[in-house]
Amino acid sequence: MEKNSNRILTGIQSTGTPHLGNILGAIIPAIQMSQTKNSESYLFIADLHSITQIKDPKILSHNTYATAAAWLAFGLDHKKTVFYKQSDIPQVTELAWYLSCYFPYQRLTLAHSFKDKQNRLQDVNSGLFNYPMLMAADILLYDANVVPVGKDQLQHLEITRNVANRFHNINGETFIVPEADLNNQNMSIPGTDGKKMSKSKNNIIDVFLEEKKLKKQIQSIKTNSTPIESPKDWSSCNLFHIYKLIASKDEIADIKSKYEKGGYGYGQAKEELFSLILEKFSKERKEFNHYLNNIDEIDKILEDGAKQAKETADKVLNRVRKKLGYN
């Protein structure tokens, strides 16, 4: 087994168009890592994970294309990166089955993806319960040794490391056991209600929306009732926390000053955030629409990526099959 000291892998679910939290917390950091010299990146759209929530084929397909368009719009170089769709790699489901036979049922009940919903089991399908094994297969199938994660995803990587080591204890070294690259700067992106930005909480900011709808999302950001004329505490303001994630140092200093002086309302701050998003993501918004209007380009890019991904997947899966006695 040849260790790849700089093979990076990450992915994002296609449960909807990537929102600002996905962009700042996953897409931009992953693309930046992929541009590092002497590194090799595998970036994938986790559309098999999405079916645990989405059963409408039209929505699932649209979300997959929107996710691909977002990655490409933000500068993913598909010629230097293995960029693929999870469902194009059947090897991942085979490996997930093998791994599930080495991981205790009781440990899966502690996974956040299940535990968070155990009080309403009618919402839990077996796919959601086994979700951590599919995620582990996503990682181990490509000999990745670096996985960029947010704090809330650390448990999944720990499970991946755990199941790999359990397999090794019985069958000998087979997988590369990955390390986490914890993104501390944008670990948790606040949503319009101040809680972590999430599609399930309906508190997202979709930077790709047409202007009227985008403005409506920004106007829905919760603020307190401090009068316009009064100074405002920017340190406890959710609107400010969102603004500072994408603004320059000078822009941040300027809006801090406006908060502290008074005579500056939250409506004005929301207008500034709206204008900043349109300005900062102008190119990406155009690119996103281009790809969605030319999905044949997306298909070709993902097909090319899948061919490369399958080559690596077959090598790893053959190692596993030999250890299990299938080859």
Task: Tell me whether residue 136 is exposed, middle or buried, using C-beta atoms within 10 angstroms of its C-beta: 0 to 12, 13 to 18, 19 or more.
Answer: buried
| CB 269 within 8 Å of CB 243 | yes
Per-residue pLDDT of the chain (327 residues; tens, 9 = 90+): 655 558 889 888 888 899 999 899 888 888 888 887 778 999 999 999 999 889 999 999 999 999 999 999 999 999 999 999 999 999 999 999 999 999 999 888 888 766 666 666 667 788 888 989 999 999 999 999 988 877 777 888 999 999 999 999 999 999 999 998 876 544 578 999 999 898 888 999 999 999 999 999 999 999 999 999 999 999 999 999 999 999 999 999 999 999 999 999 999 999 999 999 999 999 999 999 999 999 999 999 999 999 999 999 999 999 999 999 998
Tokens of 289: 């629409």
> What whole-number distance in Å separates Cα of residue 309 and Cα of residue 83?
8
The model's pTM is 0.88
Smallest Cα–Cα separation from 153: which of 30, 34, 64, 31? Answer: 30
Domains of the chain: 7-189+295-324 (3.40.50.620), 208-280 (1.10.240.10)
